[in-house]
Chains A and B, each alone.
Chain A
Amino acid sequence: MNEDYLWDKSGQPDPQIQELEEIMGTLRYQPRPLVIPRNLVVSRRRTYFPLLAIAATVLLALLAAGVWVQVRKSSKSQPQQAKVPPAVQGTTPSPDVAVKDSMPANKPAKKESTVASNVRRRHNTSAIRQREREEAFAVKEQLMLALRVASEKLNLAHRKSQSTTPANQIKNQHRIG
């Protein structure tokens, strides 16, 4: 087979390929005019980049606004959570809590529950935080103590094992030998 002739019709013609060309040529495309209907119009090229850029900017702005609103809400809702314990205290008055809250003893408990001001809330939260801090400190101290005890015990065990290891080794060597 003449590859050059098959590729670009150059070189010596291949009789078999020529015969095939002749036969298959009967099926060749017969030119026909293309009739484009008058109402058929080619659409203008559209560039979507500016639209996409605007959409992306709007989306980003909305996202940023959403995040900002969420942050604002969460920062506002934190003091409201701290408001819950005093309301419970108001319904079930307890003398211990009343003392700890450093409120005047002669003030009626009912009034405490109805009157809510930011000053009081801040005061309560700071008191709770201080108590929590004290508790956390106590827990930390206990943990440190437990760690120290455990560390001491480990040291002791380590020392014991080191003092026994050489003898064992010698013993083992002796046995092997």
Chain B
Amino acid sequence: MSATLDMLQISPQVDAAEHSPATTVEAVLVRAVLEGDRDGFGKLYGLYAPLVHGILLARVPRAEVDDLVQDIFLHAFKKLHTLRDAAAFGPWIAMIARNRAVDFHRRSRETVEINDDLRGSDTHESRATEILELIRNLPEAYRETLVLRLVEGMTGPEIAARTGLTAASVRVNLHRGMKLLRERLGFMEGL
């Protein structure tokens, strides 16, 4: 099994669309985990943690994101046997992350994120938090795609392959989202 994984050359930049569903890295890893290989899940975590992080960052307070990422992967580990198509691990865990974000807002009381002045961090990070807040106020369809592109540094095709969205909708979401973001950034000083 490990030889097969080495042959597939696991890297975060792997494009799932280039492989047939039965031989994608995700499919091989999922099958390995179901057969008892716990390390295989660590590799899946390495591949998909940025995606889950980006999805959560677009929806929940930043301070909660890291813990939620861990929770989601532990939940996914327990429920991995319910995943019917092993190659669809990305869209599956993305859906878990979205649902968890909805649950988070349903269960938690209204929270206020700590202001950057209080945090006293560098200007780059405070700017980033401001822009993130602007992105969070954009229509839902654009938030996730923009965060994955600008924060996590994924390309459009990677976003499409990992989330299970079509390349066309990712392209449209990126283009329209960026246009709206530019309009809103026009009101800010600096950029």
Give the interface of A toward B (CB within 8 A).
Answer: 1, 3, 6-9, 16-17, 19-37, 40, 42-46
Contacts and interface: CB of A to CB of B under 8 A. Distances in A.
What range describes how many residues of B lie at the interface? 35 or more
B62 A27 contact: yes
Interface in B154-190: 155-157, 171, 174-175, 178-179, 181-182
A27 B70 contact: no
Contacts of A46: 81
Interface of B: 33-34, 36, 38, 41-42, 45-46, 49-50, 53-54, 57, 62, 66, 69-70, 73-74, 77-81, 124-125, 127-129, 131-132, 147, 149-153, 155-157, 171, 174-175, 178-179, 181-182, 191
A111 B181 CA distance: 103
A46 B81 CA distance: 8
A9 B45 CA distance: 25
A9 B155 contact: yes
B70 A42 contact: no
B78 A1 contact: no
A6 to B, nearest CB: 6
Contact of A26 (B45, B125, B156): B125
29 contacts: A1-B182, A6-B149, A7-B155, A7-B156, A16-B191, A17-B178, A20-B131, A20-B181, A21-B150, A23-B131, A24-B132, A24-B150, A25-B128, A27-B125, A27-B129, A28-B50, A31-B49, A32-B66, A32-B69, A35-B70, A36-B77, A40-B78, A42-B34, A42-B36, A42-B41, A42-B78, A43-B78, A44-B34, A45-B34
A161 B25 CA distance: 91
Contacts of A35: 70
A26 to B, nearest CB: 5
A45 B181 CA distance: 44
Contacts of A29: 49-50, 53-54, 69, 152
B153 A25 contact: yes
A29 B51 CA distance: 9
Given A6-B174, A8-B156, A28-B153, A19 B81 contact: no
A6 B177 CA distance: 11
A6 B175 contact: yes
Most buried by B among A9, A22, A27, A45: A27
Contacts of A45: 34, 81
A36 B78 CA distance: 10
Nearest to A7: B156
A15 to B, nearest CB: 11
B191 A19 contact: yes
B178 A1 contact: yes
Contacts of A43: 78-81
A42 B152 CA distance: 29
Given A24-B150, A34-B42, A36-B38, A8 B155 contact: yes
Given A24-B151, A27-B62, A28-B152, 5 more contacts: A6-B156, A24-B131, A26-B125, A42-B34, A44-B34
Nearest to B62: A27
B73 A34 contact: yes
